[in-house]
Structure 1
């Protein structure tokens, strides 16, 4: 339906980028709220670098975005890379449980204690030297800790995210090469981490501890991005597609005279 089809592009302050989940969420919300697209219809977006994808909503006003998944290929880090990581984010190489690369980023799964110790003062120049777009770090959420007795007192905006039992996994994203030292919430990182954690948790995907999305009939995982602002998202996987579920709220209307 061409009436509900739109081209979309995303820009940081310095570069055009491959994918931006937040901006797609905002664009979808604006199209639905302005009734340019009726709430019962899907929005079809077409991008230059990431193919086509859809957004849908319903009576709950929640927006469900369907993106291509991003594979993570496991890598062996060089001595130079390990030293750079240790210096850049203040963790020890023994804290790295998994290292992989997507087409965009270096992805590291850390121990929970190491993730909680990553300094607010990060060496962004060091991260930029790792090549690619940037660095994504992640760890298990408290919900996934056996025994749940590892109390780690770290908060973001008053939210002690390390001990929130709602989170399946946590992440942070550093992208100095595109003008974002640390991103608030990163949809493109979720497109990689959703399949990674779905595979990791595959033995418990039918557990009652997981939430289900009735509209997409998918098992959903709860993520939390522990940036300064912080942000939660539900993510699901179906084949080679990732569903990211989020809310959006209009806080300002503007009129431009051209």
Structure 2
């Protein structure tokens, strides 16, 4: 079957966040999908299969696996999956794609008028909370606001974009914090081509190297947070990892539309 590697939330190769995409002809066993994801070694590998008349509300089933576990929501691998379907001609160009997921309902992805692909995701606004013990010390920078998202990420605002870019956190100390991950954010520099910056650290081993390059699910929380702070529903975020990437966000009530580009890096055949 066809297997691709796609860089998401970028317009150029070897940037953004890479994901594997496996285009299935029919149902597959979860254990087999887990082994493929472990072989691929990307933070997530997406598995897509057509549903046909089996599901009138969706076109494809979509599941996401890290090398060690299945996850309930992944933005960059969803973007990669839609890009793969369009670029290979598996899906009709120009029309929205509806993905049936196990835990996140039906997710819709469609070509965006300004370029890229727009994903309709649930909004995950953070609720303000007290700062977890040791968070500022683990980050190496003082935190001015702390919240927790519905998927148990900690969102921490720091002084400015320069602080976000310069963070070199103690990952072992972050691992002691009860959270899926830690989103660190600040407003963008004056005159920047984006509105806010962020970085995402996997506090509980979400990633082996400690930092996710560009995190779609984090922007489901960053969008409502910065829209409330800045008074606008349409924003652009820059995730300032080493690879880096842009995510355009539009808050629509309890939904967030995340838009970004994608580039195919590898297109081959899985033989096992």
Where on the TM-score scale, by shorter chain, does this alignment land: which range? 0.7 to 0.9
| 1:186 pairs with one of 203, 206, 215 | 215
Residue 131 of structure 2: aligned partner: 77
| 1:33 pairs with one of 84, 87, 90 | 87
Aligned counterparts of 2:271 and 2:156: Cα–Cα separation in 1: 47
Residue 214 of structure 1: aligned partner: none
Structure 2, unaligned runs of 5 or more: 1-49, 53-57
**Matched residue SS, 2:144:** strand
* Bigger share in helix: 1
The answer to whether the 8 Å contact 1:12/1:178 transfers is: no
Residue 188 of structure 2: aligned partner: 141
The verdict on how the C-alpha distance between 1:189 and 1:124 changes in structure 2, with shifts beyond 3 A counting, is same
Q: Is 1:11 aligned with 2:65?
A: yes
Q: Spell out, residue by residue over 1:129-161, the C-alpha distance to the aligned partner (whole angstroms, 9 max, x if none).
A: 11120111000001xxxxx4xxxxxxxxxxxxx
Cα distance, 1:239 vs. partner?
0.9
Question: Taking structure 1 as the reference length, what is the TM-score of the superposition?
Answer: 0.77
Residue 172 of structure 2: aligned partner: 125
Written as runs of structure 1 = structure 2, the 5 A alignment for 1:86-101 is: 86-92=136-142, 96-101=143-148
RMSD: 2.1
**Matched residue SS, 1:250:** strand
The answer to whether the 8 Å contact 1:194/1:235 transfers is: yes
Question: Taking structure 2 as the reference length, what is the TM-score of the superposition?
Answer: 0.73
Higher relative contact order, structure no. (Cα contacts within 8 Å, ≥ 6 residues apart): 2
Written as runs of structure 1 = structure 2, the 5 A alignment for 1:43-122 is: 43-57=97-111, 62-77=116-131, 81=133, 84-92=134-142, 96-103=143-150, 104-112=152-160, 113-119=162-168, 122=169
Residue 265 of structure 2: aligned partner: 251
Task: Report the count of equivalent residues.
Answer: 214
Q: Is 1:197 aligned with 2:226?
A: yes
**Matched residue SS, 1:41:** coil
**Matched residue SS, 1:126:** helix
The verdict on how the C-alpha distance between 1:39 and 1:178 changes in structure 2, with shifts beyond 3 A counting, is farther
Residue 43 of structure 2: aligned partner: none
Aligned counterparts of 1:63 and 1:179: Cα–Cα separation in 2: 25
Aligned counterparts of 2:265 and 2:242: Cα–Cα separation in 1: 20
The answer to whether the 8 Å contact 2:181/2:206 transfers is: no
The answer to whether the 8 Å contact 2:179/2:203 transfers is: no
| 1:238 pairs with one of 245, 252, 257 | 252
